[in-house]
Amino acid sequence: MGVQKDRVRFNVGGRVFETTATTLANAGRNSLFGAMFDDNWDLQSHAGTTTTEHFIDRNPDCFAVLLDLLRTGELHIPSNVPEKLLYREALFYGLLDHVRAAKWGSFDGNMLRLARSVRGLAPGDGTAIRAGPDGGCCVAHGSMVHVYDWMMEEHPPISLDYQRVNDAIWVDSDNVVISACERLGRDEGGIGLFSSLTGELRYKFRVTHENQAKSYTGGALSFNSDYKLFSSCKGRSNEYGIGVWDQVTGKQVDFFYEPTGWSLGEADKLQWLHGTNCLLVATLFPRKDNCYISLLDFRDKSMVWLWSDIGAPLTDERRVRDAIAMEETRSVCVVNEYEDLGFMDLRRSVGSVRWSSRSRLMKGKMVDEPCYPKLALHEGQLFSSMNDSISVFSGPDWVLTSRLRNSYGGSICDFSIGGDRLFSLHSEENVFDVWETRPSPVM
Amino acid sequence: MSSGPKKRNFQIEAFKHKVVVDPKYADKTWKILEHAIHEIYNHNASGLSFEELYRNAYNMVLHKFGEKLYSGLVSTMTFHLHTMSKSIEAAHGASFLEELNIKWNDHTKALQMIRDILMYMDRTFIPSTHKTPVHELGLNLWRDNVIHSSKIQPRLLNTLLDLILRERTGEVINRGLMRNIIKMLMDLGPSVYQEDFEKPFLEVSAEFYRAESLEFIECSDCGDYLKKAERRLNEEIERVSHYLDAKTEVKITNVVEKEMIANHMPRLVHMENSGLVKMLLDNKFEDLGRIYNLFRRVPDGLSTIRDVMTSHIRDTGKQLVTDPEKSKNPVEFVDTLLEKRDKYDKIISLAFSNDKTFQNALNASFEYFINLNPRSPEYISLFVDDKLRRGLKGEKEEDIEIILDKVMMLFRYLQEKDVFEKYYKQHLAKRLLSGKTVSDDAERSLIVKLKTECGYQFTSKLEGMFTDMKTSQDTMQGFYAAHAAELGNGPTLVVHVLTTGSWPTQSSITCNLPAELSALCEKFRSYYLGTHTGRRLSWQTNMGTADLRATFANGQKYELNVSTYQMCVLMLFNNTDSLSYREIEQATEIPSSDLKRCLQSLACVKGKNVLHKEPMSKDIGEDDAFSVNDKFTSKLRKVKIGTVVAQKETEPEKQETRQRVEEDRKPQIEAAIVRIMKSRRVLDHNNIIAEVTKQLQSRFLANPGEIKKRIESLIERDFLERDDSDRRLYRYLA
C-alpha cells in the first residue's frame, strides 16, 4: 500500500483526527470543509503531507459524531452528547442539513415511531397543529401560534393582534400564514403572513368589496403551486365567501361570493386539487347544522361539484365530521364521529356517500373528552384520528394497516403530516407528539 | 417625595463583574477580517489561516456583532471596487475590455473567498435580518461601482457595439473576451444584460441592417439579395451562439428578418427578371427554397409568395386552356396540364418543403383554370382513351398506375364530373367493342379509382359494361358449342350483348345485312332468346367490325378489316362490278351520313381505296358511282380500313352530348332537392340552392337557374309547396 495522497489530519480541541479529502467532500461546497479545501485557499497542497495539522478550536466529541456522519451518512449520538450541543456544532461546520437528513427516514405511515413529545406553555385548548416543509411545526393555541423548527426549538410566537386564531399554514419553510377572528369595528384580525424564523409580520391580506377595505374573520386556509392563497372569509355583509390573494404581493386577486343557500364563508376545510385546478371547500357540523362540500373552479367562477346533507334523514352515523379529496381515485373521503369512512365519486356531478361499515370498535366506549375524527392523506396512505390514536389505511381498498397511539395528553384534537414527520396535538394537556420513520436497519 | 439626594438609604450598585467580552473585541476581530479581505484582493491570501478567519467571523455573529461585520464588509468591498474601477478607467483603447475582464475575474475570486470566510454569517445572520447574501451583495456592488460608473458604462457599451460592427464588416475580433464580458453582464442579472447591452445592441443592429438592405437591393437581383440576407441571418445566429445570451437569438433574428425581408417583400417578389415569377419559370429550386425559408420567418411572408404563385399559375393556366392551338390535340392538351402540374409539384416538394397551404393553393388554381375550358372533361377522357388504346404499350404496370393517378388528380379538379363520365362511357364503349383496349387491368384499376373518388353510383354502369363483355364471351362459346355442326365453314359471327342503359345510348337504326349473315344472326337470336327468356335483342350494326377475305381481279388476296357498314357495302360487290350511290343506299339502308363516311374511307383514302369512285373527288356525292378497284395493291396482306377512332367531337355532337348531360342532371337535382326537403321539412330558397349545390358538387356544379326550374317542377307534381305566409319558404309534402 502506497501513501494515501488525500489524507487529512485535524486537531480539534486537542484531539487528533485523521480522515480523507474524499470523506470531507461529502460535506459539500457550502460547508466549512468545502470552503477550506477549495483551490482558492491553497490548503490542498498541504493535505498530502500528514505532518500538517489543521487546528480547529471546537468540541472534539461532536466533531467525532459529525465526522462519522460524513463517513457513513448515518447519525449516532452518544448519550454523553446533548442533541442541542451537536446541532450548534453542526451549524458551525455548515452540516446542519446533513444532520437533519440523517435524523429520520422518508415518511411511511406504517413505519413510524414516536420521536418525542413536546410540552408547550400556552394554556387552554390547542386549535390546530401544522407540519412545516422541513420538519418543523406550528401550534395554534387561542390567539397565539407557537413555531418550532425541526430541532423542536421554539421561535418567537406569532399573533395577529391577539385575536383568536382559526387556522395556520406553512407556505414555505420561512413563512407561515395565520387567519384570525376580526375585532369589531377595527382593522384587526383577518389574515397575515409571518416570518417563521423571527415571528415578524410581513404583511396582511385585505378583503375589499367595491374598493372598500372590509374587516373580516379569516377561516380555513389553502394555497396552490401558483402562489395563490385561499381562505374562507366571514364579514359583516358582503364578505362571505372564498378570498384569493397573491402570496408574493399580498394583493387580493379574486373573491368567490357565497351563493345563497350554500355555505363557503365559514368553511372548516379548504383543499387545493392540483390535478383539476379546483378548490375543495367543506363546511361541516357542528359549525353549521348541515354539511356542505363543493369543488370551486375559479377560472369560470363555478361550482363544478357539490354535495350536502340538507333534507337527508340525519343520524349521528350519517353526519360528516371531516372530508378530504383524493385526486388519484377521483373521490372524496368523509368520516363520521365513529370513525366510519365514506366515499363519494367526484365524476358524478352530484355526490352521494357510500359508507363503509369498516369498524364499529369505538362505538359505545366514548372517552370523557371526545375529539371528532380528522382525515389526512399522504402519498397513497389515509390517516384518520380518533380519541387518542391515529389509524393508517393503505392500499386501494383502504385497509387499516397501523395504529399510532400515545395515551399521554388525552384525545388528539388535530394532526398534520409534512417534512417527513407526523405531528399530533392532544386536547387535555398542552403537549404534541412527533412521529418519524424509523431509520432502516443496518443490514 | 421631596427628600433630596442627601437622604439616601441604600443603593443597589450595578453588578460589577458582569461578564463582558473585551470592549475592543469586536474592533479587534473586525480588523483581522478586514485585513484578510485586503490581502485577498491583493492576491496575498496564502498567508491567511482559513480556520482562524472562519472562527472570528463566527464569533462576531455569535456575540451579536453581525451588523458590524456586514457593514464593514460592504464598505471594505466598496473601497476595493473603487480602486478597480479607477484602474479600468485608466486602461487605454483596446486594453479596456481586457482590464475589465481581469478585474472581474479578480473580484469574483475574491468574492468567493470572502463568502467562504463569512459562511456562518451568510447562513444565520443574513436570513434572519433579511439582508442580501454575500455573493449577491458582491455582484450588486460591482454593478453599482464599476459597470454603472459614469466613466465606464457608456464606454463599455460603445466598445462592445463597435466590436460587433467590426465583426460584421469582416474583421476578426477576440470572441473569447467578448464572451467573458457578456457573461459578466448576464451574471449581474438579466436586467443588466438587457438594459446595458441587449436593447442598444438591437437598436444599432436594426439601423445597420436597414441601411445595408437598401444598399443591397439597389445593386443585386432577387436571388443574390436573398443569399446575402440568408448569410447575414446565419452570421447573427452564429454570433449569439458564440458570445451572446441564447435568448437574444430570437430578438436579433427578428430584427434582421424585419429589416432585410419584411420591409422589402413586394419589391423582392416582383423584381424585374429575377423575382419569384422568373424563378418559377426557370425552375430555380435553390432560389425558391431560399425565398421560402426566409419569407417563412416573417409575418405574411408565405402568403405573399403564395399569392404571386397562385396568380402566376392561374394566368399561365388560363392561357393554356383557352389557347385554340393547344385545344386541337386533346392528348397534348392534357399532357401539358400534367407537365405543369408535375412542375409545380416538384417545386413545392423541393423548395417549399411540401407546405400544405401551397399544395392547397396549387389545387385551387388548377381547379380554377381547368374548368375555364368547358371541354376539359372530354379532353381528359380522350387522353385516357389514347393511353389505354395504345399509349401504354410497353410501359410497366407501375408507370401505368402513375399515369392513371395523375389523371385522377386532374379529374378531381373537374367541376362537371358527370360530363366526364358521359364521355368516358362513350370512349370506353368504343374501346371495348373494337377490342382495342390494351390492358384490362389498367381499365379496371381506373374504374376502382373513380369508384373510390365518386362512389359506387358513378361507376356502376361502367362496371356493367365490363360484365357485358365477359357474359358475351361465354354466350358466344355456348352458341358455337351448340351449333358447331350446322355452321360449318360459313362466316363467323361474334356478338356482344349489351345491356340497355349501361352503354351509351345509340340510335338503333339497323341496316340490311348480307343474306349469309342475316341467317346466322337469326340463328343466334333464337339461341339467345332460347336461353334467356323475356329479353329483346336489337342489332347495333353501327358499332360492329368485320374481317373480310377479298380476292381482286389481279389474283391478289387480302384480308380486309372493316366496319359492319363497310362490310355490307363490300359484300354487294360480290355480285356486281359497279354500283351507284343510290343503289348502295337502297340495298343497305345505311343512314346517309354514315354511308358517306364509310364510302369515303373505302374509296378516297390513298393506299386503302379498295373501291374506285367516279368521278374522282374527295367528297361523296349522291350521284357518284363505285366499282371494285382492280388495281388495289398493298404491302400488307392485312389491310385495316376506316377504323372507328374516337375523336374530338364535332360541334353538333358536342351540343348533343351537352344536352344529354343536362337531361341526366335533372333527376339528380330533383333527387337532391327531395332528400334535403325530406329531412328539413321547411327551407327557404337560398338555403336549398346552397345545399343542393353542396350535395352535388362531387359530380357537377349545379346551375341555380336549373335548380329553380326543378323546384318548380316538383311543386307542380305536389312534392313541395310554397309557404302561404312567406313566399320564399318551401314545404315538403309527404
Per residue in A106-129, pLDDT tens? Answer: 899 999 999 989 988 777 678 899
Q: Provide mean pLDDT across the span B41-56.
A: 88
- Taking the C-alpha atoms of residue B330 and residue B376, their distance in angstroms, rounded to an integer, is 9
pLDDT-derived band at A43, boundaries 50, 70, 90:
low
Asked if pLDDT for residue B646 goes beyond 50, the answer is no
Asked if pLDDT for residue A351 goes beyond 70, the answer is no
* CA B117 to each of CA B42, B113, B271: distance values in angstroms, whole numbers, following the listed order: 16, 6, 69
Which residue bears the cell 358466344? B476
Three-state DSSP at A175 gives strand
Three-state DSSP at A177 gives strand
Which residues of chain A are within 8 Å of residue B125 when distances are taken between CB atoms?
A: none
Nearest Cα residue in chain A from B59 = A92
Question: Does the beta-carbon distance from A41 to B51 stay under 8 Å?
Answer: no
Which residues of chain B are within 8 Å of residue A134 when distances are taken between CB atoms?
A: none
Which residues of chain B are within 8 Å of residue A197 when distances are taken between CB atoms?
A: 127-128
Interface of B with A (CB under 8 A): 45-46, 50-51, 54-55, 58, 109, 112-113, 115-117, 119-120, 123-124, 127-128
- Answer for the pair A121, A430: CB distance below 8 angstroms, yes or no: yes
Nearest CA of chain A to the CA of B59: how many Å?
A: 10
pLDDT at A47: 44
Closest to A57 (Cβ–Cβ): which among B45, B55, B109?
Answer: B55
pLDDT-derived band at A427, boundaries 50, 70, 90:
confident
Asked if pLDDT for residue A287 goes beyond 90, the answer is no
Q: Is A35 on the interface with B (CB under 8 A)?
A: yes
Q: What does DSSP assign to residue B640? A: E
A17 beta partners: A10
Q: What does DSSP assign to residue A105? A: B
Q: Is A57 on the interface with B (CB under 8 A)?
A: yes
CA torsion, ordered B602, B604, B608, B614, to nearest 10 deg: 70
- B706 phi and psi angles, rounded to 5 deg: -65, -40
Which residues of chain B are within 8 Å of residue A43 when distances are taken between CB atoms?
A: 50
Which residues of chain A are within 8 Å of residue B120 when distances are taken between CB atoms?
A: 91-92, 94
Closest to B50 (Cβ–Cβ): which among A31, A41, A57?
Answer: A41
Question: Does the beta-carbon distance from A40 to B51 stay under 8 Å?
Answer: no
Nearest Cα residue in chain B from A96 = B123
**Letter string b/e over residues B482-516, b meaning 16 or more CB atoms within 10 A of that residue's CB:** eeeeeeeeeeebebbebeeebbbeeeeeebebbee
- Taking the C-alpha atoms of residue B374 and residue B405, their distance in angstroms, rounded to an integer, is 22
Q: Provide mean pLDDT across the span B655-673.
A: 84
pLDDT at B202: 95
The set of residues, in sequence order, having a beta carbon less than 8 Å from that of B706 and lying 6+ positions away, is B662, B665, B666, B669
Asked if pLDDT for residue B249 goes beyond 90, the answer is yes
- Summarize pLDDT for B172-217 with one digit per residue, the tens: 999 999 999 999 999 999 999 999 999 999 999 999 999 999 999 8
Which residues of chain A are within 8 Å of residue B124 when distances are taken between CB atoms?
A: 91
- Answer for the pair A337, A321: CB distance below 8 angstroms, yes or no: yes
Which amino acid belongs to residue B48? L
> Cis bond leading into B491, ω under 30°?
no
Strands A302-308 and B545-551: unpaired
Nearest CA of chain B to the CA of A33: how many Å?
A: 10
Percentage of chain B with pLDDT > 90? 35
Closest to B127 (Cβ–Cβ): which among A38, A57, A197?
Answer: A197
Asked if pLDDT for residue B304 goes beyond 60, the answer is yes
Q: Which of A98-107, A244-253, B139-148, B423-432 has the lowest mean pLDDT?
A: B423-432
Asked if pLDDT for residue B649 goes beyond 50, the answer is yes
Q: Is B604 exposed, middle or buried (0-12, 13-18, 19+ CB in 10 A)?
A: middle
- Summarize pLDDT for A252-264 with one digit per residue, the tens: 999 998 888 888 8
In chain A, the N- to C-terminal Cα span, in Å, equals 30
Instruction: Transcribe B562-575 into DSSP letters.
Output: EEHHHHHHHHHTTT
Q: Is A371 exposed, middle or buried (0-12, 13-18, 19+ CB in 10 A)?
A: buried
Find, among A216, A138, A124, the residue nearest to A171 by Cα: A138
Asked if pLDDT for residue B634 goes beyond 60, the answer is yes
Question: Does the beta-carbon distance from A41 to B128 stay under 8 Å?
Answer: no
A392 beta partners: A383, A402
Report the Cα B635 to chain-centroid distance in Å: 55
Question: Does the beta-carbon distance from A35 to B46 stay under 8 Å?
Answer: no
Question: Does the beta-carbon distance from A94 to B116 stay under 8 Å?
Answer: no
Which residue bears the cell 423542536? A152
Which residues of chain A are within 8 Å of residue B119 when distances are taken between CB atoms?
A: 30-32, 35, 94
Asked if pLDDT for residue B233 goes beyond 70, the answer is yes
- How many other C-beta atoms can be found within 10 angstroms of the C-beta atom of residue B711? 22
Q: Provide mean pLDDT across the span A301-309.
A: 88
Question: Does the beta-carbon distance from B119 to A94 stay under 8 Å?
Answer: yes
pLDDT at B426: 83
Which residues of chain B are within 8 Å of residue A92 when distances are taken between CB atoms?
A: 58, 120
pLDDT-derived band at A48, boundaries 50, 70, 90:
very low
- Taking the C-alpha atoms of residue B439 and residue B428, their distance in angstroms, rounded to an integer, is 12
Asked if pLDDT for residue B223 goes beyond 70, the answer is yes
Q: Is A45 on the interface with B (CB under 8 A)?
A: no
> Cis bond leading into A396, ω under 30°?
no
The set of residues, in sequence order, having a beta carbon less than 8 Å from that of B509 and lying 6+ positions away, is B542, B591
pLDDT at A386: 85
- Taking the C-alpha atoms of residue B521 and residue B690, their distance in angstroms, rounded to an integer, is 53
Strands A212-214 and A207-209: antiparallel
Asked if pLDDT for residue A366 goes beyond 60, the answer is no
Extract the C-alpha cell encoding B406: 395523375
pLDDT at A315: 73
Asked if pLDDT for residue A362 goes beyond 60, the answer is no
Q: Provide mean pLDDT across the span B307-336.
A: 87
The set of residues, in sequence order, having a beta carbon less than 8 Å from that of A61 and lying 6+ positions away, is A78, A80, A81
Which amino acid belongs to residue B261? I
Higher-pLDDT residue of B71 and B16 is B71
Question: Does the beta-carbon distance from B120 to A35 stay under 8 Å?
Answer: no
Question: Does the beta-carbon distance from A56 to B109 stay under 8 Å?
Answer: no
- Taking the C-alpha atoms of residue B458 and residue B448, their distance in angstroms, rounded to an integer, is 11
Question: Does the beta-carbon distance from A40 to B109 stay under 8 Å?
Answer: yes
Question: Residue B83 is inside which H or E element, if any?
Answer: helix B66-90
Higher-pLDDT residue of A249 and B554 is A249
Report the Cα B454 to chain-centroid distance in Å: 22
Nearest CA of chain B to the CA of A113: how many Å?
A: 31
pLDDT at B482: 81
- Answer for the pair B545, B562: CB distance below 8 angstroms, yes or no: yes
Crossing angle for the helix pair B153-168 and B95-117, to the nearest 10 degrees: 130
C-beta contacts of B340-347 below 8 A and 24+ residues apart: B340/B313, B340/B316, B341/B366, B341/B406, B341/B409, B341/B410, B342/B406, B343/B283, B344/B309, B344/B313, B346/B283, B346/B285, B347/B280, B347/B283, B347/B285, B347/B288
- Taking the C-alpha atoms of residue A245 and residue A254, their distance in angstroms, rounded to an integer, is 7
Which residues of chain A are within 8 Å of residue B116 when distances are taken between CB atoms?
A: 35-36, 38, 40-41
* CA B435 to each of CA A55, A244, B234, B395, B400: distance values in angstroms, whole numbers, following the listed order: 111, 85, 64, 19, 19
Question: Does the beta-carbon distance from A174 to B127 stay under 8 Å?
Answer: yes
User: What is the pLDDT of chain A when averaged over all its residues?
Assistant: 86
pLDDT-derived band at B37, boundaries 50, 70, 90:
very high
Q: Is A55 on the interface with B (CB under 8 A)?
A: yes
Question: Does the beta-carbon distance from B116 to A198 stay under 8 Å?
Answer: no
